[in-house]
Chain A
């Protein structure tokens, strides 16, 4: 079994890179990790003028200047260094003209990790033409070349949080816009590190490398643990019938929650939204609106209490753009004070930050002082230092058209992968494309499951209604149920994206907890897949379950996981430690389990629950017609499950 190392893995200690000045002063690089000697380490071009002649001058040992005489006063200084098996470079671009420039790294494409190596390209273009498989925004994405025994991790170094540009696809070319009159600056740093072990080890290294740049103490707060169980949140537009009783003009949370359970199997949280589109019709602020909603703040407090009794958390919105009172010269109390007062008055569980991606530590502390355990969630993708304070956010559609804006339903693609989910699994994400319908909405639900993240259910977009079809609601309910029952694996600290599969077009992510592991699968092809799906290194005394189909999964004689994934569909396999023991006593099966609070036996469409008292001793399997599905539960968590045909 290949396990993720807790500490950064060993590096190769022998020098592996040889850098010489080649023909025309061009740096020449050779290494056992390169398929061939590389004459050009880095090519520097002005965009749309790729054919410009380049001159390279040696400045000093390991330092070069690359010039494009025809492009005007713009040049690039390159420095490379090799030590302890780590090969690193930095590049500064100098120029006083506004140019879009590109840096090419042809040698990166020649990296090999040895026999059988494959590239884990974090911006693979293979899944759909023109559509990146992975979404990995706003910091410099690492990638890896890997085989079973060792990996080369390419790190784009420098500050994670101060990254000033969005990296282009790694398999391609970072485009670097140079501002007019820019000071010479180091704008690009990278390194190649050898890591022992295959892709899981390589990714563990990447994860550790990125996490080391962040203060993650907010994620360790006990008072915020409840957020770990938030899977489906509802955007509750208060002017619509989902919660508003149109006849009586009152907000009816009980009916709302009843219907959510009927249609979706329930929500974990809901965001009450009463501001837009009304706010601004007069001088009232967002804070005044909470006084004026039916029943005022007291009614909302009662709503929050009733929801919590049903296991549902209430979020209040904060509209950072509501500044009209200030702009009219009528400043009120600070937003921190007002928000804290609202949270206390309503006894809210969380705050939705709308279009605000970042809050100051002081803002966070102002709320903490008034009520512990308040979660913050932003509509915008939390980036950089904001990750240290805002511990959850929406995962809105990558393909959403910024120009078309909010009224455009962007097409959705599967699979798409959100790498931050795997770097920082503590940061809760909720996928939403508010205008997606039909197949696009199904792909949104699939994307949430494949990535192991949560969802936002939003059916009333400020008056435009896009209700869920029964099939959509059923798929979401199934996904949420699987996650709820397997949270220990889902929220494990060492998930790995894109583990190896045996079939082209089959994608798999691994979620590894201490006791359990889970794989989410997606079959991108038009053919159903059944049988051997992926290499599998089983943990001792564990067994596999195809939890998507509620059936046993297996391991083939070749050591491969066997299960089923239908065309263009999700799949899911879980690995449980063997806890349910079975004995056949004469003609009847007897059960035993050392842990858990109940056993649920399903047979012939009926479920029977056995209490711990019954199953700590050997207990006969309840009468029924097989096949049997037997699940050992601890609260909402499945600890183990087995299947019996009932015929033997």
Chain B
């Protein structure tokens, strides 16, 4: 397990860094906000889980990293609508180290596959975020608005909030962008997956809107999948995990 101070982290190059999340025992219990239609029926746990160690991207995948993937691989989604909607001939330079957004679950999976990684499961994400002490936020028990991006204005660099770090050293897990979780479920009528962490944006004025802003580590959001055109979003990004360390895949070009 690798831990650094916030000051150190700001000095680091962002792009390839992974941290090892150790194995351990934990009590997995994901809760949800209940809305009409059974959002979310997937109230999982509580149950005891034995985790094996794995590696997780320290930060969300950034625009710069995603562009490197596109330069390396001829990835063309069949439905391009809204794909990297915020890019114009590549990402805006100011957004280089912001998490990549406007990517579908498949767009994220494609990146992960190229990088020799995969997307995390719901359990992995929560373990990495809460650590053995099962605290509600990566940094502790209390929500601290200044520790993460809930600014309503847009994404911030993945290193912008040094306090937004889990006990295992994984950063920027809550706020900034929701993160795709590769647990895809179906009841035969719908297909859905889960999002984690909450994003920068809170829709205002109606309780029918989804929960907005940074979310505690035990919270997940049931996200009915329709089509990439609608599923891609300004508030959804991703990070990857791998069984082994960060030497695999990352240097491919």
> How many whole Å from B193's CB to the nearest CB in chain A?
12
Flag if A282 contacts B234 (CB, 8 Å). yes
A296 interface contact, C-beta 8 A: yes
B141 interface contact, C-beta 8 A: no
Residue in A250, A278, A294 whose beta carbon sits within 8 Å of that of B224 in the complex: A278
Interface flags for A241-282 (1: CB within 8 Å of B; 0: not) read: 110101001100000000000000000000000101111111
> How many whole Å from B151's CB to the nearest CB in chain A?
11
A357 interface contact, C-beta 8 A: no
Flag if A464 contacts B203 (CB, 8 Å). no
Identify the stretch in B33-41, B64-72, B123-131 within 8 Å (CB) of chain A at 4 or more residues: B33-41
Flag if A321 contacts B227 (CB, 8 Å). no
Flag if B230 contacts A293 (CB, 8 Å). yes
Cα A277 to Cα B233 with chains together (Å): 14
Name the prevailing secondary structure of the B interface residues: loop
A274, A319, A324, most chain B CB atoms within 10 A:
A324
Identify the stretch in A117-125, A165-173, A191-199, A455-463 within 8 Å (CB) of chain B at 4 or more residues: A455-463
Flag if B234 contacts A296 (CB, 8 Å). no
Interface flags for A226-246 (1: CB within 8 Å of B; 0: not) read: 000000000000111110101
Flag if A281 contacts B36 (CB, 8 Å). no
Residues in B neighbouring A238, C-beta threshold 8 A: 226
What are 21 A-B pairs at a CB distance below 8 A? A238-B226, A240-B190, A241-B189, A242-B189, A244-B226, A249-B226, A277-B224, A278-B210, A279-B209, A281-B178, A281-B201, A282-B201, A284-B233, A293-B229, A294-B226, A296-B229, A324-B205, A460-B189, A462-B35, A463-B39, A464-B37
A406 interface contact, C-beta 8 A: yes
Cα A328 to Cα B201 with chains together (Å): 10
Count A-B contacts at CB 8 Å: 126
Flag if A276 contacts B208 (CB, 8 Å). yes
Flag if A328 contacts B152 (CB, 8 Å). yes
B187 interface contact, C-beta 8 A: yes
Of all chain B residues, which has the CB nearest A326?
B205
> How many whole Å from A132's CB to the nearest CB in chain B?
27
Cα A227 to Cα B227 with chains together (Å): 33
B79 interface contact, C-beta 8 A: yes
Taking A405-B36, A462-B36, A464-B38 as known contacts, 7 extra A-B pairs with beta carbons closer than 8 A to each other, sorted by chain A number, are A246-B191, A249-B227, A277-B208, A281-B178, A282-B236, A283-B201, A326-B205
Interface flags for B53-93 (1: CB within 8 Å of A; 0: not) read: 00000000000000000000000000101100000000000
> How many whole Å from A278's CB to the nearest CB in chain B?
7
Of all chain A residues, which has the CB nearest B37?
A462
B228 interface contact, C-beta 8 A: yes
Flag if B37 contacts A277 (CB, 8 Å). yes
Flag if A292 contacts B37 (CB, 8 Å). no
> How many whole Å from A288's CB to the nearest CB in chain B?
10
Residue in A239, A282, A319 whose beta carbon sits within 8 Å of that of B235 in the complex: A282
Cα A322 to Cα B205 with chains together (Å): 7
A289 interface contact, C-beta 8 A: yes
Cα A237 to Cα B205 with chains together (Å): 23
Flag if B201 contacts A296 (CB, 8 Å). no
Residues in A neighbouring B13, C-beta threshold 8 A: none
Interface flags for B135-157 (1: CB within 8 Å of A; 0: not) read: 00000000000000000100000
Flag if B229 contacts A292 (CB, 8 Å). yes
Interface flags for B216-238 (1: CB within 8 Å of A; 0: not) read: 00000011111111100111100
B204 interface contact, C-beta 8 A: yes
A115 interface contact, C-beta 8 A: no
Flag if A250 contacts B227 (CB, 8 Å). yes
Flag if A280 contacts B209 (CB, 8 Å). yes
Cα A592 to Cα B212 with chains together (Å): 71
Residues in A neighbouring B41, C-beta threshold 8 A: 463
> How many whole Å from A326's CB to the nearest CB in chain B?
8
Of all chain A residues, which has the CB nearest B230?
A292
List 5 A-B pairs, minimum CB-CB distance, nearest first. Answer: A462-B37, A280-B209, A280-B203, A249-B227, A321-B206
Residue in A240, A289, A322, A326 whose beta carbon sits within 8 Å of that of B230 in the complex: A289
Flag if B205 contacts A465 (CB, 8 Å). no
Residues in B neighbouring A281, C-beta threshold 8 A: 178, 199, 201, 203, 210, 223, 233, 235-236
Cα A462 to Cα B228 with chains together (Å): 19
> How many whole Å from B37's CB to the nearest CB in chain A?
3
Interface flags for A287-325 (1: CB within 8 Å of B; 0: not) read: 001001110100000000000000000000001011110
Interface flags for B23-41 (1: CB within 8 Å of A; 0: not) read: 0000000000001111101
Residue in B203, B229, B230, B234 whose beta carbon sits within 8 Å of that of A324 in the complex: B203
Of all chain A residues, which has the CB nearest B187?
A465
A293-B189 contact in complex given A281-B210, A464-B38, C-beta closer than 8 Å:
no
Flag if B234 contacts A283 (CB, 8 Å). yes
Cα A289 to Cα B235 with chains together (Å): 15
> How many whole Å from A191's CB to the nearest CB in chain B?
44
A407 interface contact, C-beta 8 A: yes
A327 interface contact, C-beta 8 A: yes
Of all chain A residues, which has the CB nearest B85?
A292
Flag if B229 contacts A240 (CB, 8 Å). no
Of all chain B residues, which has the CB nearest A329?
B152
Of all chain A residues, which has the CB nearest B201?
A282
Flag if B36 contacts A406 (CB, 8 Å). yes
Residues in B neighbouring A465, C-beta threshold 8 A: 187, 189
Cα A24 to Cα B231 with chains together (Å): 77
Of all chain A residues, which has the CB nearest B186?
A246
A window 379-416: CB within 8 A of B: 405-407
Of all chain A residues, which has the CB nearest B204?
A327
Flag if A249 contacts B204 (CB, 8 Å). no
Residues in B neighbouring A240, C-beta threshold 8 A: 189-190
Cα A327 to Cα B206 with chains together (Å): 11
Flag if A323 contacts B186 (CB, 8 Å). no
Residues in A neighbouring B223, C-beta threshold 8 A: 278, 281
Of all chain B residues, which has the CB nearest A249?
B227
Residues in A neighbouring B178, C-beta threshold 8 A: 281
Flag if B190 contacts A463 (CB, 8 Å). yes
Cα A283 to Cα B208 with chains together (Å): 15
> How many whole Å from B107's CB to the nearest CB in chain A?
13
Flag if A324 contacts B206 (CB, 8 Å). yes
Of all chain B residues, which has the CB nearest A292?
B230
> How many whole Å from B103's CB to the nearest CB in chain A?
13
Of all chain A residues, which has the CB nearest B232?
A292
Cα A241 to Cα B229 with chains together (Å): 18
